Amino acid sequence: MAAPSLATLWREQAADDLERGKTPLVVDSHVIPPGTQFGVNLYALHHNEKYFPDAFTFNPDRWLTDSSDTQYRAFAPFVARPRSCAGRAMSYLEVSLAMAKTLWYFDFRRAAGPLGEVGQGTKGVETGFGNVDEFQILDMFNANHEGPYLVFRPRGDHCDELD
């Protein structure tokens, strides 16, 4: 729900593409003239109900269904194609290992009191930060945020293995 970069990734069809026999760029039945910059904001794409039903709800199970691959094709946290992040594979590996060990060794919950609310939206705010249950992302070239603050507690008998 919070990709590393949520900025709009601009593209432009070369002005001489039509002269070289390439077809015009068509987006949603609109012809985009060569030389015109266009882009898709990744936050908007990742929260589009067409690709991700109930898009503002944290639901990891959405990836376990046998649905079409549309949501997989729309999910682009590391951008795509020539401008894709060079560290994507390493990032997936590192995050998978860190998450697996964290979830294996610890139970966690939100911190109590005001610290547990850091990073959430404010009810009634109309500036895009009004979704209380959505972790708020401040868009820059790279994403930035505050929180969440979590409290971890070692689990059961295998806590000695942490050393």
Binding site, by residue number, is 85
Pick out the residues of the known binding site for heme.
Answer: 85
**Residue 135 CB contacts under 8 Å (≥ 6 apart), including other chains:** 1, 2, 119, 120, 145, 147, 148
Specify the length of the chain in residues: 163
Q: What are phi and psi of 82, to 5 degrees?
A: -60, -25
Tally of CB atoms within 10 A around 69: 7
